[in-house]
Amino acid sequence: MPIQPERLAKTFVRLCEIDSPSRREGPVAAFLKGLFATEFRAEILEDNSAPFTGSDTGNLVVRIPGRGGGLPPFFCNCHFDVVEPSCGVKVRRHGETFTSAGATVLGADDKAGIAMLVEMARCLKEDGRLQSPLEFIFTTCEEVGLLGAKNFDFSLVRAASGYALDSAGLDLAVVAAPAANHFTVDVYGLAAHAGLHPETGINAIQLAARAMAELPLGRLDAESTANIGVISGGKATNIIPDLVTLEGEVRSHDHDKLARYTQAIKNSFQQAVAGFGPPPPSAGPPRGAARIRFAAQEQFPAMKLNPGDHVLQLLSKAAEQLHRRLDFTVAGGGSDANIFSAHGLPTAILGTGMTDVHTTDESITLTALVRTTELLLTMYHVSQN
């Protein structure tokens, strides 16, 4: 049977109206467990990632058996969680466009992808053309640092490559995404009364500002970006602040550039502190000098697919059958695909047609839902040849 657009729409709305903010994805996981067990007699596995992510559920692996013995599975991935504000979602439909009816996000990121996978499986079952097994991986805590994927039990995967349905845009595939480092800088000064003895203090906020003034931020080159997005410090206006903490990130498609730019940020803070000098001597004992503590860790590795990779060849053949022109693009953000690819599971990211993601203006059309599901089905059929 062909895709049933209204059934697809109903599934999508139902998913959006199940609360699933990061770390509270249990209700949507339970809904999908029931659906896949009832309709497909699927094998459903839950990994032991919850103690590490803080979620109320683990990642799920759903295996829907096919009729062709020994054929490799067709793998797809979506994430359960939705950015805030995401509780109490009510979906409003204007013709074929879906939006949130209230002050929440819609949740098309990533429930549009989940709805497409459900419709895809239903169509294959109804057509009697389910030859290769389907292998769906649903992750938790993607929106708070890809935590589900980072703690996923990869021994549960049987597929060799696949697709993550997690990008804006339509008829689009992301073939490369950057690596990212998250860094924290603690700048330590010396506290003093700002009105009585300001000369005995070292203002940590001033030190941090000097360092930031020398930093290149934003787009560093065609492959790299940097940002400081969180600053906290100080206790009161009459106290010279002795500590300010900054958090930021560096992203690059080039590993050497990522390391170099991260080190440059550290150097800038070290130089600002070294050039400030200790406060002048006072009647009391020496009170020390300014210093920093810098820590950086990888958020996610880079992802880069090659034109000859099976996932892209299959995608190109499916697009040719559908007489579509696909946009193969390079992204600036990370996703579960970065983690899967780093574990030897090359994963292309498909655009689902969602727009204005991570805002309360988020929307998607039924045409986009159907169109991407058609692409998935065609890829599946091409893979059987």
Give catalytic residues, as residue numbers: 81, 142
Beta strands in the chain (DSSP E): 43-46, 60-64, 74-79, 91-94, 97-100, 134-139, 162-167, 172-177, 179-188, 218-221, 224-233, 243-252, 291-300, 303-304, 327-330, 347-351, 363-365
Q: Could you give the count of Cα atoms lying within 13 Å of 267 in the half-sphere of its Cβ?
A: 9
**Distance from C-alpha of 17 to C-alpha of 368, rounded to nearest angstrom:** 19
CA-to-CA distance for 30 and 14, rounded, in angstroms?
Answer: 13
In angstroms and rounded to an integer, the radius of gyration of the C-alpha atoms of the chain is 25
- Report the C-alpha gap between 246 and 186 in whole angstroms: 7
Pair 152, 339: CB distance under 8 Å: yes
Alpha-carbon span 338 to 320, nearest angstrom: 27
The 10 Å Cβ neighbour count of residue 192 is 21
3-state helix, strand, coil in the chain (%, to 5): 35, 30, 40
Which residues touch 44 (CB under 8 Å, ≥6 apart)? 33, 36, 37, 60, 61, 62, 63
Residue 219 has phi, psi (to 5 degrees) of -85, 120
Q: What are phi and psi of 348, to 5 degrees?
A: -85, 150
Pair of tokens at residue 154: 């990869």
Which tokens is 363 given? Answer: 């929307």
Find all residues with CB under 8 Å of 52, minimum gap 6, and list them. Answer: 147, 151
Nearest residue to 374 (alpha-carbon basis) of 310, 335, 326: 326
